[in-house]
């Protein structure tokens, strides 16, 4: 192994749910990243990082609030980070692995290294699944995914969080034009023949009104699949979880959208969405 790809497990934190572990890992140049593992009912989930920190400034994410970006992880570092978990958890193929690029960083800003690591992992650990969550910052790379990952069992998730451009700009200071993003996603779906999943963190008094739900339907349309996420509290954020969950979801479903409510595992060990830390 290239010395600069050497990443070592430094600590493991165990959730009270007994299925979630957060791995603290250290790079060759003494930077810290985190990786979350979930021993789910029908699959293993490895939620890994693609960057050391992040510079997008998302208001609901620890690394976005801190603006703590240091550097991209190399393809070898990404793969090693994941294989450390596979080895430590002794994953033996008894159920599929979901390799999820939903940890620290914006994956599309480390595109080439991410794709290279996906291809490596797909060859070494076949018959598993891959996922990526992005704010949609790079429309060009969304379309490239359709070609570059066409032979991989892959799901693309777009983190939306508001259908109003001004609100989204406030939550995600660096992002794409919403209408252009939606049109790009539709083109991606035609090329790849895969449905994109939308992700929406519901925040009290910010993006959780009936008007927000109606605008979301107007933007995406009927039959789109959206996952509503519970907000996981992060340090130095004054955002709180929505109290209008049921009304918001009912409005979307009444308009014919496919909706799933989701709570990420490991919030008690700061291993859930938005809580993982790079230092």
Structural contact between residues 25 and 32, judged by C-beta atoms closer than 8 angstroms: yes
Given a contact cutoff of 8 angstroms between Cβ atoms, the answer to whether 71 and 105 are in contact is no
- What CA–CA distance (Å, rounded) separates 105 from 142? 16
* All domains of the chain in start order, with CATH: 3-269 (3.20.20.70)
How high is the mean pLDDT of the chain? 95
The confidence band for 1, taking pLDDT boundaries of 50, 70 and 90, is: low
pLDDT tier for residue 279 given thresholds of 50, 70 and 90: confident
Distance CA(186)–CA(112), nearest Å, equals 23
Kindly list the distances between the CA atom of residue 141 and the CA atoms of 109, 116, 149, in Å, as whole numbers in the listed order. 9, 14, 11
Strands 51-52 and 44-47: unpaired
Share of the chain above pLDDT 90, in %: 93
Please confirm, yes or no, whether 273 is among the known catalytic residues: yes
> Once rounded to an integer, what is the mean pLDDT over residues 76-90?
98
Q: Out of 34, 76, 77, 224, which one is annotated catalytic? A: 34
d(CA 82, CA 50): 11
pLDDT tens per residue, range 213-265: 999 999 999 889 999 999 999 988 999 999 999 999 999 999 999 999 988 99
* CA separation for the pair 210, 14 (Å, rounded): 38
Whether residue 58 lies in the annotated active site: no
* Per-residue pLDDT tens digits for 203-226: 999 999 999 999 999 999 988 999
**Contact (Cβ atoms closer than 8 angstroms) between residue 38 and residue 266:** yes
- pTM tops 0.75, yes or no: yes
For the beta carbon of residue 192, count every other beta carbon within 10 angstroms. Answer: 18
Which listed residue (54, 58, 61, 273) is catalytic? 273
Average pLDDT over residues 167-171: 96
Cα distances from 21 to residues 89, 102, 139, 156, in angstroms, run 10, 15, 33, 24
- With beta carbons less than 8 A apart as the criterion, state whether 134 and 158 touch: yes
Concatenated DSSP letters of 159-170: E---SSHHHHHH
| Mean pLDDT on 100-127 | 97
Percent of the chain exceeding pLDDT 70 equals: 99
Q: Is 17 helix (H, G, I), strand (E, B) or coil?
A: coil
Q: Does 141 score more than 70 pLDDT? A: yes
């Amino acid at each position: 192994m290239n010395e600069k790809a050497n990443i070592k497990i430094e600590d493991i934190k165990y959730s009270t749910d007994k299925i979630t572990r957060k791995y603290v890992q250290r790079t060759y140049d003494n930077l810290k990243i985190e990786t979350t593992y979930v021993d789910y009912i029908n699959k293993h989930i490895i939620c890994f990082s693609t960057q050391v920190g992040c510079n997008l400034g998302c208001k609901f994410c620890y690394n976005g609030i801190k603006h703590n970006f240091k550097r991209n992880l190399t393809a070898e570092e990404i793969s090693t980070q994941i294989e450390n978990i596979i080895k430590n958890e002794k994953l033996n193929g008894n159920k599929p692995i979901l390799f999820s690029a939903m940890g620290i960083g914006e994956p599309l800003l480390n595109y080439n290294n991410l794709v290279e690591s996906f291809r490596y992992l797909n060859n070494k650990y076949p018959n598993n699944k891959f996922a990526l969550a992005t704010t949609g910052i790079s429309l060009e790379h969304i379309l490239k995914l359709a070609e570059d990952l066409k032979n991989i069992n892959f799901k693309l998730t777009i983190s939306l969080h508001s259908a109003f451009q001004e609100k989204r700009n406030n939550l995600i200071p660096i992002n794409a034009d919403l209408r252009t993003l939606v049109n790009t996603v539709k083109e991606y779906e035609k090329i790849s023949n895969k449905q994109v999943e939308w992700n929406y963190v519901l925040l009290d008094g910010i993006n959780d009104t009936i008007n927000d739900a109606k605008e979301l339907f107007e933007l995406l349309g009927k039959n789109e699949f959206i996952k509503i996420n519970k907000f996981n509290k992060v340090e130095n954020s004054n955002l709180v979880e929505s109290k209008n969950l049921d009304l918001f979801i009912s409005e979307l479903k009444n308009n014919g959208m496919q909706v799933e409510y989701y709570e990420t595992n490991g919030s008690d060990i700061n291993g859930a969405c938005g809580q993982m830390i790079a230092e």
